[in-house]
Structure 1
Amino acid sequence: MSDNVRKPFVAGNWKMNGNLALVAEFNQKLAGLKAKAEVVVCAPSLLLHAFETDSFSIGTQNVSHLDNGAHTGELSVDLLKEAGCSYAIVGHSERREDQGESSELVALKAKKCVAAGIVPIICVGEPLDVREAGEVEAFVGEQLDALVDKMSIEELSKTVIAYEPIWAIGTGKTASPEQAQEVHEFIRTYFSKVDATLAQSLRILYGGSVKPDNAETLFAQKDVDGGLIGGASLKAEDFISICQAAN
């Protein structure tokens, strides 16, 4: 596992899945979860009220960069805090692609979260054509540039970064441990040029078809501090196994 100053971190992203029965199952099966990792479940917002456990935290999958007002369908940080959220996924590739979220907007959302005391899990990552063209670092670097442009070092220190190769999300394909480590090392090196202390303390998660049978190997990489888990986070036993792999 990575440097001792970085506590392992596992976040589940249910996406537009789940129901009250699944929440009840997680409440029961994850009660008293024994894991060294910090554990978060990011479920659809309408389900957040039903979680009843202190063995993991809850988070949202989206947040507005605006405070309140005439913005139909948006969720403010104040509303999310009232719902018990302490984390928010920001800039997931599905929102960047489906909702056209720019890196600048992602940075504004992350900044708003930090100001409200919500930890943003900021997603970055490349599509297949960028990887095949050998332009991963340039592509991810531009996404990181937007964060550094909008956020101070202190603000960035209160975030979590999730590297998600878009070509490995929901496809069954997974970056090899070496591929994951290569990009994670690039991200940490990028931030070391901003601030060395920030770079060493920043937790960087891998997201892309993490499963119980590959989690331990992925998490063993020097700069991989845990995972952002998609499909496997919908199965309580699988999610527990992945959390324990982060030990």
Structure 2
Amino acid sequence: MRPSVFALWISSAFLASEAGAFVSQSKSAPRLESSLFARKPFITGNWKLNPSTKDEAVALATGIADSVTADSPGDIGLFVPSPYLETVQKIAGDKFVVGAECVTPETAGAFTGGVSPSMIKSMGIEWALAGHSERRTINKESDDYINSQCKMLIESDMNVVLCIGETLEEFEKGLVDAVCEVQLKKGLAGVSSEEMKQVTIAYEPVWAIGTGKVATPEIAQDVHSICRGILGEMYGEQVAEDTRILYGGSVSPDSVDGLMEKPDIDGTLVGGASLDATSFGRIINFVTKKEPATV
């Protein structure tokens, strides 16, 4: 039987200290309470290496655009493979923003396969992901590399969604707090309070991505609150309260309403369900008792 997340967090400082690999929980700021309606929801999808053809991308993006109405309760974004950026951007119009799934933190040079922020910005793209768990594990992108991506996107006057989150092993060892603290502090090193206006955070428990496992809304809320507290320690309460924190971990039409009820969950980073226009349309039009902010 897996211990409760509360028990895991209580033990995380001790385990982190013993392992010498993470920042101790005792250094964290007091956790901040959030206003229910402080931030406008941001529902995003990440297509990853999908779909297989441009025609399929057009059909999917068109179906998603058709799901967005004047009554949709938040901002919407799609992060898509680079070959589809301009195509999806044209379909999006003013219904949703389009972003790249990753960038190379270089302006030019001998970086085969690289895509720089300036390249995608010249196409009208103003958003990109950084630090997605698949890039961290498969492509071995380090916290320092991810920090370089974040800073270059910000310097390019673009917006970044910084992804953070723990593996199943780290979760079971009680290192949730410590892992999130390290990834936030390293990923945002050198980013100023003013520049945080260009940053969104996405918490993605790695053990819940593509596995069908979903952290309960209560677990997700507690981790989001922890992350907001860390941001408060780094930048002060106002920046922490203004920063949107998304949840990404096998979000589905069945789970989105419960997640979006929570005060510190400001949106979603959806994987598989964003590849089905009907499913993603339901997520976009989630039902909540909260009254979404307008800014």
Contact 2:37/2:263, CA 8 A, preserved across alignment = no
Counterpart pick for 2:260 among 188, 209, 219: 219
Alignment of 1:106-185 (within 5 A): 106-185=146-225
Counterpart check, 1:205 vs 2:239: no
Q: What is the Cα deviation at residue 115 of structure 1?
A: 1.5
Q: Residue 120 of structure 1 aligns to which amino acid in structure 2?
A: V
More off after superposition, 196-205 vs 80-89: 80-89
- The DSSP-based 3-state class of the residue aligned with 1:59 is strand
- Note closer, same or farther for the CA distance 1:2–1:74 as it changes in structure 2 (3 Å cut): farther
Counterpart pick for 1:47 among 77, 81, 84: 84
Structure 2 residue aligned with 1:23: 57
The separation in 1 between residues aligned to 2:122 and 2:151, in whole angstroms, is 19
- The DSSP-based 3-state class of the residue aligned with 1:25 is helix
Structure 2 residue aligned with 1:77: 117
Consecutive unaligned residues of structure 2, counting only runs of 5 or more, are 1-33
Q: Residue 203 of structure 1 aligns to which amino acid in structure 2?
A: R
Q: Residue 54 of structure 2 aligns to which amino acid in structure 1?
A: L
Contact 1:5/1:201, CA 8 A, preserved across alignment = yes
Percent identical: 36
- Note closer, same or farther for the CA distance 1:2–1:41 as it changes in structure 2 (3 Å cut): farther
State the TM-score, normalized to the length of structure 1.
0.95
Q: CA RMSD in A?
A: 1.6
Q: Residue 38 of structure 2 aligns to which amino acid in structure 1?
A: V
Q: Residue 79 of structure 1 aligns to which amino acid in structure 2?
A: M
Structure index of larger Rg? 2
- The DSSP-based 3-state class of the residue aligned with 2:285 is helix
Counterpart check, 1:57 vs 2:91: no
Summarize deviations over 1:24-69 as a string: whole Å, max 9, x none.
Answer: 2234321471223111111111111212231111110001111111
Q: Residue 285 of structure 2 aligns to which amino acid in structure 1?
A: Q
- The DSSP-based 3-state class of the residue aligned with 2:198 is coil
Counterpart pick for 2:275 among 234, 237, 241: 234
Q: Residue 106 of structure 1 aligns to which amino acid in structure 2?
A: I
- Note closer, same or farther for the CA distance 1:148–1:118 as it changes in structure 2 (3 Å cut): closer
The separation in 1 between residues aligned to 2:246 and 2:284, in whole angstroms, is 13
- The DSSP-based 3-state class of the residue aligned with 2:92 is coil
- The DSSP-based 3-state class of the residue aligned with 1:111 is helix
- The DSSP-based 3-state class of the residue aligned with 1:227 is strand
State the TM-score, normalized to the length of structure 2.
0.80
More off after superposition, 120-129 vs 32-41: 32-41
Contact 1:122/1:159, CA 8 A, preserved across alignment = yes
